[in-house]
Amino acid sequence: MKNIFCAAALALLIFLPAAARAGETELRVGNMGSSIKPAMVVLAHEMGYYKDEGLDVKLMQISNLNEGVTALQLGKLDILPLGVIPSLTYAAKGAELVIYGGTIAEGCQGVTLPENKDKYRDIKNFKGKRVAVHRPETGQMIMRAKMREAGLDLEKDVEIIQLDGFQAIIEAVSKGMADIGFVNSGFGLIAEKRGLAIAFNIKEVAPNAVCCRQTASREVFETKRGALVKFQLANLRAYKLMRDAPDTAVAKLTAFSGQPEDYVRYCLYSEVMVITMDPAVNRIKDFYKVMEANGDLPKGYKADISDNVDSGVYREALDEAMKRWPDCEYFKKMDAEFAANNL
Same domain, 49 and 69: yes
Rounded Cα gap, residues 195 and 290, in angstroms? 32
Residue 323 lies in a domain: yes
Q: Please, what is the end-to-end C-alpha distance for the chain in angstroms?
A: 62
Residue 88 pLDDT exceeds 70: yes
Across the range 187-206, mean pLDDT stands at 96
15: in domain: no
Q: What is the mean pLDDT of residues 45-72?
A: 98
pLDDT over threshold 60, residue 19: no
**Domain for residue 8, yes or no?**
no
Where does a domain end: 189, 204, 219?
204
Beta-strand runs (E) in 41-177:
55-61, 97-102, 104-106, 109-112, 130-133, 159-162
pLDDT over threshold 50, residue 16: no
Asked whether residue 235 falls in the same domain as residue 336, the answer is yes
Residue 310 neighbours by CB under 8 Å, 6+ apart: 98, 99, 100, 221, 279, 281
Residues 190 and 73 in one domain: no
- If asked whether residues 190 and 326 sit together in one domain, one would say no
Give pLDDT tens digits for 110-126: 999 999 999 999 999 99
Residue 111 phi, psi dihedral angles, 5° rounding = -115, 145
Same domain assignment for residues 80 and 220: yes
Quickly state the pLDDT bin for 4 (edges 50, 70, 90): very low
Residue 84, domain extent: 21-105+210-342
What pLDDT band is residue 22 in, cutting at 50, 70 and 90? Answer: low
236 and 271 assigned to the same domain: yes
**Would 183 be classed as within a structural domain?**
yes
Cβ–Cβ under 8 Å, residues 139 and 209: yes
CATH code of the domain in which 118 resides: 3.40.190.10
Compute the mean pLDDT over every residue in the chain, rounded to the nearest whole number: 93
**What is the Cα–Cα distance from 174 to 22, expressed in whole angstroms?**
54
- Total tally of structural domains belonging to the chain: 2
CA separation for the pair 37, 145 (Å, rounded): 25
* For the chain, percent of residues with pLDDT exceeding 70: 94
Confidence grade of residue 11 (pLDDT, cut at 50, 70, 90): very low
Could you say which of 156, 178, 204 is where a domain stops? 204
Q: Does residue 307 have a pLDDT over 70?
A: yes
- Number of neighbours of residue 218 by Cβ within 10 angstroms: 15
**pLDDT, position 23:** 77
Percentage of the residues of the chain whose pLDDT score is greater than 90: 91
Average pLDDT over residues 61-66: 96
- For residues 199 and 229, state if they share a domain: no
**In terms of domains, do 230 and 99 share one?**
yes
Asked if the model's pLDDT at residue 18 lies above 80, the reply is: no
User: Does position 215 have pLDDT exceeding 70, yes or no?
Assistant: yes
Residue 2 in any domain: the answer is no
Same domain, 65 and 139: no
pLDDT at 15 exceeding the cut of 80: no
What is the SS3 assignment for 196?
Answer: coil
Q: By C-alpha distance, which of 79, 33, 17, 96 is closest to 234?
A: 79
- The answer to whether residues 33 and 68 belong to one domain is yes
What is the reported pLDDT for 136? 80
Strand partners, 104: 275
| 30 neighbors 71 (Cβ within 8 angstroms) | yes
* 41 in a structural domain: yes
The DSSP code sequence of 37-52 is TTHHHHHHHHHTHHHH
- pLDDT score of 270: 94
Q: Which of 204, 232, 266 is the last residue in one of the domains?
A: 204
- The mean pLDDT value for 147-176 works out to 97
Residues 216 and 85: their CA atoms lie apart, in Å, by 14
Please classify residue 212 by burial: count the beta carbons closer than 10 Å to its beta carbon, then call 0-12 exposed, 13-18 middle and 19+ buried. buried
> 13 in a domain, yes or no?
no
Residue 130 to residue 58: CA distance in whole angstroms: 43
Average pLDDT of the residues in 201-226: 96
Supply the DSSP symbol for 309.
Answer: B
Q: At 20, is the pLDDT very low, low, confident or very high (cuts 50, 70, 90)? A: very low
Residue 4 maps to a domain: no
Residue 310 main-chain phi, psi, to 5 deg: -150, 140
One domain for residues 100 and 222: yes
Residue with more model confidence, 260 or 7: 260
- Is there a single domain that holds both residue 115 and residue 199? yes
Residues in contact with 256: Cβ distance below 8 Å, sequence separation at least 6, in sequence order: 34, 36, 42, 46
Confidence band for 17, pLDDT divided at 50, 70 and 90? very low
Query: Rounded distance, CA 317 to CA 339, Å?
Result: 15
